[in-house]
Structure 1
């Protein structure tokens, strides 16, 4: 399949998308580029943190690594949790309500699709608003853990000039005295309910994502460079089914040569215009 690359204005590309999507069931895969207009940087764009994300083996084996992680995660959480859904999130929610798309598979951990009104969301890499105990499996709301972190480490809340990463982390260099909350049930190790570096996407979660693609007629990939294997596997599943694949992203992706259409532009603009042209404008305005 040859990709049609559209730069600058995207009207011609949008018309091609409308023709390809109209009357078909659409599954959507989103990446970090969908959330950049909400103030959350992507992994490669301007403002992205250059630090290495937390590796699960370090987190499990090293109390110091857990101190470093929770210090940065706590400092970043306030800014991360205050991010609001942007026009792209709202457009996807409106298209779902209009029956245009079947649902969203998100590689992001910010929860903005649900907050925008999307009902069928597969959080491929988890969500930062949940915390789990690795010992007993108890689940906690993130806000309660953050309150405890603030009471144990009030000085962290005074830090300024932070650089937020896509996963909500911040590089905090002074973390030797950070006190980490423990599970209130078994005193076990707490971890955000997200997939760290070195972890696999749970089979049940990937199965839900694969089922969504299987039921669809078109796969729309928005804001993802497809650098993560889970996203590429879903693209390959669509290709095996001979489904049209649409990619909307600023910059090159690993799936460009396999796309039916590639629009090189911002996701907010493209998804907003797509929602309007497909007749979801009334719902889109109601959600806003």
Structure 2
């Protein structure tokens, strides 16, 4: 276990060098924001968020520029391969620690403002970092679950992640000394699903359910696993009740996200996409903003604030 962790690949927001001075506002971007605000004024929107929203909190994107190539854990591999479970639990624990240390960014906080001002009806997120809830959003559908909960696949018992983390570190003492923050020489290489690159896991002990001895799994949807029906119905209900859909920080590469966009299209709702890079929803959008989510959502929150003069 001495060489458990691979080198951290820091996200741009976590570099030690001072941030450059903000660039002057782009008049074209300001015009686009004005157009989006005018479109959404009086039309409460549902918001679908992806990994790009959390990059400013230090959580890297799957597909953004510079994102490392990786093969996410699949449900089938997790169930069938004990060594894969060991690797996943070691990496997931370290990744979760860094998730827990991350804080909501301006994009998350701007969505809280938009919800408080009734400009949005709620948030559907593909992220598992829990940052929307921690920011203060009240109506959040965590489409792919959340890293802060663990379930038993045999008896269904649910556990808080803190209790499982304590058991993991007690059974694997070398985990306790591993640094997970930015700037650490032996930090983790995390991904948006909370997994991390690890090695030397032969001696790693995987926790079992304390109720039935069954197999534990973080309460997140793995690749190859279906979104629970009730949760997806909650997401579709949010889109159905809205008058517009805003997609923020998602390439829409995952089927559950594009299905919600298609639902909005069939209902003839205006769709706005905010993302750096192409998405599978660009052809369905009435407006595509090639921009960062934090500054864009903050600009929308300012423009849609009560009493704002047009």
TM-score normalised to structure 2 length: 0.86
- Which residue of the partner structure matches residue 145 of structure 1? 164
CA-CA distance at 1:162 after TM superposition: 2.0
**1:202 counterpart residue number:** 228
The CA deviation string for residues 186-209 of structure 1, in whole angstroms up to 9 with x for no partner, is 011000000001001111111000
Secondary structure of residue in 2 paired with 1:233: helix
Distance (Å, rounded) in 1 between the aligned partners of 2:123 and 2:55: 17
Within the candidate set 128, 132, 137, 1:118 is matched to 137
SS of the equivalent of 2:222 reads coil
Secondary structure of 2:217 counterpart: strand
Q: C-alpha separation between the residues in 1 aligned to 2:67 and 2:151?
A: 27
1:231 aligns with 2:231: no
Instruction: Report which stretch shifted further, 148-157 or 217-226.
Output: 148-157
Report the more deviating stretch, 106-115 or 147-156. Answer: 147-156
State the number of aligned residues: 276
Instruction: Give the one of 260, 270, 277 matched to 1:251.
Output: 277
CA distance in 2, matches of 1:103, 1:58: 34
Deviations 1:147-183 (A, max 9, x none): 1111111112334132111111111111111001111
1:87 alignment counterpart? 106
Which residue does 1:3 correspond to in 2? none
Q: Which of 46, 60, 67 in structure 2 is aligned with 1:27?
A: 46
Report the 3-state secondary structure (helix = DSSP H, G, I; strand = E; otherwise coil) of the residue aligned with 1:91: helix
RMSD between aligned alpha carbons? 1.6
> In 2, Cα distance between the equivalents of 1:35 and 1:175?
29
> For the Cα contact (< 8 Å) 1:214–1:238, is it kept in 2?
yes
1:212 and 2:238 matched: yes
227-236 vs 46-55, which moves further: 46-55
- Change over 3 Å in CA distance of 1:103–1:59 after alignment to 2: same
For 2:296 and 2:280, the matched residues in 1 are separated by 20
| Distance in 1, Cα, partners of 2:138 & 2:77 | 35
1:250-287 residue CA offsets vs partner (Å, 9 max, x unmatched): 000011111000000000000001001111699xxxxx
CA contact (8 A) 1:59 1:66 kept: yes
Work out which of the residue numbers 64, 73, 85 in structure 2 matches 1:45: 64
Does residue 1:155 correspond to 2:150, yes or no? Answer: no
- Equivalent residue number for residue 7 of structure 2: none
Bigger RCO of structures 1 and 2 (CA < 8 A, at least 6 apart): 1
| Between 174-183 and 273-282, the greater mean CA deviation after superposition | 273-282
Q: Which position in structure 1 is the counterpart of 2:97?
A: 78
How far apart are 1:65 and its partner, in Å? 1.2
After the TM superposition, which residues 269-280 of structure 1 pair with which residues of structure 2 at under 5 Å, given as runs?
A: 269-279=295-305
SS at match of 2:204: coil
The Cα offsets for residues 5-51 of structure 1, whole Å up to 9 and x where unpaired, read as: xx885201110111100001210000000000000001012453422
The residue number in structure 1 matching 2:208 is 182
The residue that corresponds to 1:286 in the other structure is: none
Contact 1:75 1:157 in 2 (8 A): no
Distance of 1:186 and 1:48 partners within structure 2: 39
CA deviation string 1:67-118 (max 9, x = no partner): 0100111122211111100000000011111111000000000010011110
- Residue 67 of structure 1 aligns to a residue whose secondary structure is helix
Residues 8, 48 of structure 1: alpha-carbon distance in 2 compared, 3 angstrom cutoff = farther
Distance 1:80 1:142 in 2: 12
SS across alignment from 1:219 = strand
Q: Within 1, Cα distance between the matches of 2:236 and 2:27?
A: 33
CA–CA separation in structure 1 for the residues paired with 2:259 and 2:94: 34
